[in-house]
Homo-oligomer: A and B are copies of this chain.
C-alpha cells in the first residue's frame, strides 16, 4: 500500500502551508494561510488531525513553543515539514505535473 509514498490532496495543502509559514506555523496560522491562499475555509480540527497523522508518518515534526504574553493563550505547538515530507511533496507535484503536461491549464474539453 502507499504508505507514505503519496499524499492526499489536503495533506499537500497543509504541507505547503508549513513551508510558507516557515517558523511560524501552528494551528491558527496554518488555518489562516489556507483560507487566504487557497480560499478554502477549513475547520481547525481538520488541520490538527491531519498534522498529527503526518507526524506519525514522519512527514512533519512539532515542538511546543513558550506561551506568549498575549491575553489568553496556551503554549503553541509549532510544526515544521521534515525531509520525508519535502520529498513526498515534490513527488506529488511531479506526478500531477506529468499528468497535466501538454494540456493547457485550464483545460477545456
Contact = CB atoms under 8 A, between A and B. Distances in A.
Interface in A5-33: 6-9, 12-13, 16-17, 19-20, 22
Copies of this protein in the assembly total 2
Nearest to A42: B2
Nearest to A38: B95
Given A12-B96, A38-B98, A96-B96, 10 more contacts: A13-B99, A16-B103, A19-B107, A37-B98, A37-B99, A38-B99, A39-B95, A81-B109, A86-B109, A94-B106
Residue among A19, A22, A99 facing the most chain B CB atoms (10 A cut-off): A99
A22 B89 CA distance: 29
Interface in A74-109: 81, 86, 89-90, 92-96, 98-101, 103, 105-109
